[in-house]
Amino acid sequence: MLSKNDLREIKEYEEAGIKVVAIDSDGTLAYATQGIGGCEYCDQCSAFRLLPDPDPSDWFRDGDMKAVCLEVNGVIAGSLERPSEWTNIRKPLYCPKLGRELSEEEKKEAAERLEWAKKRMK
């Protein structure tokens, strides 16, 4: 939850033309100037979380994040370096809140992607 001071600072940054992304302590996206999710983005879903995604063989990129869906217990996207990447994550085909029916071909692809996402979560 953003405080009044946080909201004041965000407004000042936006008035200065600076794009803003604010992440809560639990990894939930609290605010973003752009990419705030409509029906096609994950970033405003209650199941969406950003978690650290360090690469053990890449010592200079400790700040990487991964987008996680708690509803399916899987990784949506990994190796996200910039805040702009955190806010423009489209819902995957296996999203239970996708909002449309899948074709048979899409169902097969969604099952494969979901299996990969769950393996990546471990």
Supply the pLDDT for residue 36.
Answer: 47
Q: Which residue has the higher pLDDT, 24 or 18?
A: 18
Answer whether residue 114 shows pLDDT above 90.
Answer: yes
Q: Which residue has the higher pLDDT, 4 or 110?
A: 110
- The residues, ordered by sequence, that sit 6+ positions from 40 with a Cβ below 8 Å of its Cβ are 90, 91
Q: Where are the domains of the chain?
A: 4-121
Distance from C-alpha of 78 to C-alpha of 64, rounded to nearest angstrom: 8
Supply the pLDDT for residue 69.
Answer: 93
pLDDT, mean of residues 23-50: 71
Supply the pLDDT for residue 74.
Answer: 94
pTM strictly above 0.75? no
Rounded percentage of the chain residues whose pLDDT exceeds 70: 84
What does the block give as tokens for 53?
């995604």
